[in-house]
Amino acid sequence: MDAVYSGVPGYKGVKIISIRNGSIVVDHEVIVEVNITAEVNVPLEYEKIFEKVQDELNKTKAQLCTENSTDCIDFSTEKGEEPNLEDFCLRAFPDGFGKFYDYEIMSDGLTCMSHCDGQSLKYYDCNGGKCDIKKNTGPQCYCSDTDKYIYTSSRCEGKILKSGLYGGIGVSTCVLAVIVAIVSFFLIRKVKSESGDKSSFQLEEDEFETWSINRGSFNPGIVQEPETYLSGSSQNTAFQPSLERVNTSIQVKIKRPEICHENLSMTLQPQGSSRL
- Confidence class of residue 10 from pLDDT cuts 50, 70 and 90? confident
Q: How many CB atoms lie within 10 A of CB 218?
A: 8
How big is the chain by its Cα radius of gyration, in Å?
Answer: 62
pLDDT at 114: 92
Q: Is the pLDDT of residue 222 over 60?
A: no
Q: What single DSSP character describes residue 272?
A: S
Mean pLDDT along residues 102-106: 85
pLDDT above 90: percentage of residues in the chain? 13
How far apart are alpha carbons 149 and 240 in whole angstroms?
90
Specify whether the CB–CB gap between 12 and 34 falls below 8 A: no
Which range, 22-36, 80-94, 130-144, 215-229, is most confident? 130-144
Report the pLDDT value the prediction gives residue 45, as an integer from 0 to 100. Answer: 86
Report the pLDDT value the prediction gives residue 223, as an integer from 0 to 100.
45
Instruction: Report the pLDDT averaged over residues 62-80.
Output: 78
